[in-house]
Chains A and B, each alone.
Chain A
Amino acid sequence: MSQYILRRLFWLVPTMLAISLVTFIVMHATPGSPLQPDAPNANPLPPAAQQNLARKWGLDKPLHVQYLTFLKNALRGDFGSSYVHKTSTVMEILKRTFPVSLHLGTMALLLAIFIGIPLGVLAAVDQNGPIDYVCSFIATLGVAVPNFVLAIFLIVVFVLGLGVIPRTGGWTSPVDWILPTIALGLGPLGILARYTRSSMVEVMRQDYMRTAQAKGLSQRAVILGHAVKNGLLPPLTILGPMFAAVGTGSFFVETLFRVPGMGRFFVDSMIARDYPLIMAIILLYGIFLAIMNLVVDILYSVVDPRIRLA
């Protein structure tokens, strides 16, 4: 087992190299440059100033030299300073914002797990009944409605309409956590509920289910003891990528609720061509995703003894 984990961790290195290389190429291959002001009608910088900036950021060197320099510094944990947020280094920015996003993402994922999975189980038990319809409605709602639209609904209903929540946004007290968590969590909740339902339906057709019923177990014992145990394995697989997606922050949810997380950099850094920041967040996302997948694989073998890691 420990050997397996070590090998997987070792494979992280080439994966990260590939991700950084592809990001670097795509970033430089799409037209646009960080040397130009990003406002649409702004005056271009004078050529001399552009040359100075390029020299300062090392953009005047050939591309392969730029990439190797990036690699050398990144290995020491130095991702340079942001082109836009000039007063702080990329590492400082991420140290400040990533924990906030991770916190919000964890709560959203817990919400999705603790409501989505039971909902999916109930829907599978009550196939084509009322609970099933409610489940499929919530699942479609979560999957189809963008979270910024959902956020508007939540603010209008709970802050402006009912007045249950005192503020429209911020991140100072636990009251501020509620709405962003719901807005971010409903999408994953819908996906999980749908996934759980279909996997449970599959399991309930198996022979051992009939055996369990035939030996006189109560419906409750059959579902909880036999069906759920097997039916929850497939949904476990999607939790890894799901956590990576919500744990690195959402631009929309964080903007609408003024959450000081890292989600906005996914959009801002792309628009501003903030090369150091783009590289850092994509790599952070990649590492997060890879580690989550590893954790899920390990969990999988713990939960299901039939699966042996090799």
Chain B
Amino acid sequence: MDALGSRREETLAPSTTEAGRPASKTLAGMARPHRTLWQDAFRRLIANRLALAGGIVILLIALMAIFAPVIAPYPYDKPNYSAISQFPSRDFPMGTDLTGRDMLSRMIYGAQVSMLVGLGAQVIVFLIGVPIGAIAGYAAGKTDTILMRFVDVMYAFPQLLFVILIMAALGRGLQNIFIAIGITGWVTIARLTRAEFLSMREKDYIQAARAVGAGPWRLITRHMLPNALTPIVVALTFGVPEAIFTEASLSFIGVGINPPRPSWGQMVGEYFPYLQSYWYLALFPAIAIAVVMMSFTFFGNGLRDALDPRMQQK
């Protein structure tokens, strides 16, 4: 009983202290400075060194992608036949490829694709997965059963094979990669959102909101979604490296990005046959993929631990 009371106190705390009744004002003065959930999470995230390093690397790669036209020393698609397959040197810090294109410039532009796909695909995944999961979880019953059976069928089919099938049908291109990842990737988020919503349906504060007369739209957007947001954000963070991996694999196979636009996966796929003679051509993009994947994974781990301290790495 007591524990129950105090917990409710906690959830109400921010609004009552700001109401500024004299009694609570002195209480608030004695308590530690007020911090929101996100501020708390941010502090914990910064304290995690691996997550911080991951975050910084991600930021640097993002900046590199944004300012690619400014920092790239050469155009990424113009062959230079007087400097074919050169070893890294002062003029070409990462060497040149078989048609004399500067590798450094291609690497810098490659960051654009990884970042765009990694983050952009999550937007699509969010836009498809959350509404479907929300409807299933909110409506429950028959709607839920039908939607979830559909999700199960999608889940059973190996994702990479499905994506390849779609790409083979749609043709290469950045836009189609978004579509392919979006169509296949929303399933996890939908499941997660549904589970969160189902467990929330019977909670007191939802019942209270309903009793006050909140409609389904208001209930979902103002009460349920904000409470389900932390696990969704964590899942989306882990979805980023997954999408980057999918794009790299597709481009490696040759059904991903449209050349001459460079992508790290496409570069590994294009240059690995020449590994014996020009090892640096495939090595640099391979390192880039490894670094970006590790960074997002460490950042995701840190974010999960920071947002939900009870869920500390098992």
Give A contacts to B, CB under 8 Å: 22, 26-27, 30-32, 40, 140-141, 143-146, 148-150, 152-153, 155-156, 160, 168, 198, 201-202, 251-252, 256, 266-267, 270-271, 273, 285
For the complex formed, measure the closest distance between the CB of A187 and the CB atoms of chain B, giving whole angstroms: 11
Give B contacts to A, CB under 8 Å: 153, 156-158, 161-162, 164-166, 168-172, 241, 245, 248-249, 252-253, 255, 268, 272, 275-276, 279, 282-283, 286, 289-290, 293-294, 296-298, 301, 314
Q: When the two chains form their complex, are residues B171 and A40 in contact, meaning their CB atoms are under 8 A apart?
A: yes
Q: When the two chains form their complex, are residues A22 and B156 in contact, meaning their CB atoms are under 8 A apart?
A: yes
With A22-B156, A144-B297, A270-B168 already in contact, the answer to whether A156 and B268 are too (CB < 8 A) is: no
For the complex formed, measure the closest distance between the CB of A41 and the CB atoms of chain B, giving whole angstroms: 11
Q: When the two chains form their complex, are residues B289 and A146 in contact, meaning their CB atoms are under 8 A apart?
A: yes
Using Cβ atoms and an 8 Å threshold, which residues of chain B touch A144?
A: 241, 290, 293-294, 296-297
Q: When the two chains form their complex, are residues B161 and A266 in contact, meaning their CB atoms are under 8 A apart?
A: yes
With A146-B248, A146-B289, A156-B275 already in contact, the answer to whether A30 and B268 are too (CB < 8 A) is: no
Q: When the two chains form their complex, are residues B166 and A201 in contact, meaning their CB atoms are under 8 A apart?
A: no
With A155-B275, A198-B314, A267-B253 already in contact, the answer to whether A22 and B297 are too (CB < 8 A) is: no
For the complex formed, measure the closest distance between the CB of A29 and the CB atoms of chain B, giving whole angstroms: 10
Q: When the two chains form their complex, are residues A160 and B297 in contact, meaning their CB atoms are under 8 A apart?
A: no
With A149-B268, A168-B276, A267-B164 already in contact, the answer to whether A32 and B169 are too (CB < 8 A) is: yes
Q: When the two chains form their complex, are residues B165 and A140 in contact, meaning their CB atoms are under 8 A apart?
A: no
**How many residue pairs, one in A and one in B, have C-beta atoms under 8 Å apart?**
88
Using Cβ atoms and an 8 Å threshold, which residues of chain A touch B275?
A: 152, 155-156, 160, 168
Using Cβ atoms and an 8 Å threshold, which residues of chain A touch B276?
A: 160, 168
- Please report the C-alpha to C-alpha distance between residue A141 and residue B296 in the assembled complex, in whole angstroms: 12
For the complex formed, measure the closest distance between the CB of B94 and the CB atoms of chain A, giving whole angstroms: 14
Closest 6 CB pairs of A and B: A198-B314, A152-B286, A144-B297, A32-B169, A31-B169, A144-B293
For the complex formed, measure the closest distance between the CB of A241 and the CB atoms of chain B, giving whole angstroms: 11
Q: CB < 8 Å: which of A26, A148, A160, A267 contacts B157?
A: A26
Q: When the two chains form their complex, are residues B169 and A30 in contact, meaning their CB atoms are under 8 A apart?
A: yes
With A144-B294, A201-B314, A271-B255 already in contact, the answer to whether A156 and B165 are too (CB < 8 A) is: no
Q: When the two chains form their complex, are residues B294 and A141 in contact, meaning their CB atoms are under 8 A apart?
A: yes
Using Cβ atoms and an 8 Å threshold, which residues of chain B touch A22?
A: 153, 156-157
- Please report the C-alpha to C-alpha distance between residue A201 and residue B272 in the assembled complex, in whole angstroms: 42
Residue of A at shortest CB range from B164?
A: A270
Residue of B at shortest CB range from A136?
A: B313
Q: When the two chains form their complex, are residues B255 and A152 in contact, meaning their CB atoms are under 8 A apart?
A: no
